[in-house]
Chains A and B, each alone.
Chain A
C-alpha cells in the first residue's frame, strides 16, 4: 500500500480542470487499496464549506479519502472551523511536511 497526499489549491474540488485530479485520482487510488488524503490549501478550502456545491467532496468521503483543510487558509478567508462540511478535518500545514518526511507521495496539482 502506498500513501498519497494530494494538494488542492484551487477552488472547485470537483471542477473539470481540477477535479480530475482530486476526485478521480484520489478515488481510483483509494479503490486500488492505497491510503489517500487530500489537503486543501488557499482557495482549495472554499469547496469544503458546509453547504458549498461540491459533489466531489461526497465522492471522496465515500471512497474513504481523508479530506483536510489548511487552518491558515480558512482564517484568511473568514471560514470558521465549524463552518466546514461534515468529515473535513481542519489541519496545520505541517501535515504536508510530516507526510513528506514519512515518505508519502505528495502531489501538488
Chain B
C-alpha cells in the first residue's frame, strides 16, 4: 500500500431502486474530488449501475418529453466519476462481478468497467486504506 489514500467500496443495490445507490454515488464523487484512488466492486444488482444500454424516457403521464424529463442515468454519473477521479489526480477502478453480469445479461458496460470475481474485492480491500460495504437494505 502506498502513501496515497485508496478506498474500496462494495455496492450491491440495483439502479433506480434504492436511495443507497444515490448516497453511494455521492460518496464516490466526494472521494474522487479529493484525488483518492477508488476501487469499486459491484455485486448482484449493482452490476446494472454501469449497464451501457440504460436509456432516458419520456413521461407521458405528465406530458413531458425525454428531454424535459431529464432522466438521471447512473451509467452517465459513473462515467463522469471516471473523469472526475482522473481530473483530480486519482483513479477509479470499477469491477463488476462476472457471474452477476451473466445472470442479468448485463455484459455491455460503459468504458472503464472491468469484469471480475469476489476475489477482486478481497484484493481491492487488501490494497486499500479502508473499505466500506454498502449492503442491500432500506
**Is A42 among interface residues, defined by CB-CB distance under 8 A?**
yes
Q: List residues of chain A with CB within 8 A of the CB of B132.
A: 96, 100, 106, 108
Q: List residues of chain B with CB within 8 A of the CB of A78.
A: none
Among the listed B27, B31, B34, B137, which residue makes an inter-chain contact with A10, where contact means beta carbons less than 8 Å apart?
Answer: B137
Q: List residues of chain A with CB within 8 A of the CB of B27.
A: 93, 96-97
- How far in angstroms is the closest Cβ of chain A from B41? 15
Check if B129 sits within 8 Å of A103, measured CB to CB: yes
**Residue among A93, A103, A109 with the highest chain B CB neighbour number at 10 A:** A93
* Residues 91-109 of chain A, each 1 if its beta carbon lies under 8 Å from chain B, else 0: 0011011001101101011
Report how far A100 CA is from B130 CA in the complex, Å: 6
Q: List residues of chain A with CB within 8 A of the CB of B36.
A: 97, 101
Answer whether A97 and B134 are a contact pair too, CB < 8 Å, given A42-B19, A72-B26: no
Classify chain B's interface size: 10 to 19
Question: A53-108: which residues lie under 8 A (CB-CB) from chain B?
Answer: 72, 93-94, 96-97, 100-101, 103-104, 106, 108
Q: List residues of chain B with CB within 8 A of the CB of A96.
A: 27, 132
- How far in angstroms is the closest Cβ of chain B from A1? 17
Check if B19 sits within 8 Å of A101, measured CB to CB: no
Question: B85-138: which residues lie under 8 A (CB-CB) from chain A?
Answer: 129-130, 132-135, 137-138
Q: List residues of chain A with CB within 8 A of the CB of B70.
A: none
Check if A101 sits within 8 Å of B134, measured CB to CB: no
Report how far A103 CA is from B19 CA in the complex, Å: 26
Residue of A nearest to B36 (CB): A101
Q: List residues of chain A with CB within 8 A of the CB of B134.
A: 108
Instruction: Offer 27 A-B interface pairs, CB within 8 angstroms, sorted by A.
Output: A9-B138, A10-B137, A41-B23, A42-B19, A42-B23, A43-B19, A43-B138, A72-B26, A93-B23, A93-B26, A93-B27, A93-B30, A97-B31, A100-B7, A100-B31, A100-B129, A100-B132, A101-B7, A101-B34, A101-B129, A101-B130, A106-B130, A106-B132, A108-B132, A108-B134, A108-B135, A109-B137
Instruction: With A9-B138, A10-B137, A42-B20 given, name 8 new contacts (CB 8 A).
Output: A9-B20, A42-B19, A96-B27, A96-B132, A101-B5, A101-B34, A104-B130, A106-B130
Closest 6 CB pairs of A and B: A100-B130, A42-B19, A97-B30, A94-B30, A101-B5, A106-B132
